[in-house]
Amino acid sequence: MGLIYPVHAHVADDEDNGYDDFYAEWSDSWLVEIDPEDDEDDPVKVGPLGPRAAWDLANEVEDLRPGWTVAIVPVFEPEPAESLVARIEET
């Protein structure tokens, strides 16, 4: 439970991360996935949003309901699997 999002490679796992550590460069469009019960039902998906809007929404929801799982997920444009894997491994 909590907030899940990609961070830059230099960020330590135990840091209290902010927007500056959020890997917003990964995509221009993002989804916010909200799972209130952390069960097998599909999470609520909101988006596409810009990186800052997704960050702000996810943090507001997490502040209101800290027991829910909230994830900020990049929306990738269709591209060959090889280039997608390379982009993911760069982070």
For residue 43 the two structure tokens come to: 């999470």
Question: Rounded to the nearest 10 degrees, how much is the dihedral formed by the CA atoms of 31, 53, 67, 76?
Answer: 20
Q: What is the DSSP string of the chain?
A: -EEE--B-TTS-TTS---GGGB-GGG-SEEEEEEESS-SSSPPEEEEEE-HHHHHHHHHHHHHH-TTSEEEEEEEPPS--HHHHHHHHHT-
Q: Which domain holds residue 45?
A: 2-89
Residue 16: per-residue pLDDT: 65
Confidence of residue 79 (pLDDT cuts 50, 70, 90): confident
The β-bridge partners of 17 are: none
What's the pLDDT tens digit per position in 47-73? 999 999 999 999 999 999 998 999 999
What predicted TM-score, i.e. pTM, was given to this entire model?
Answer: 0.77
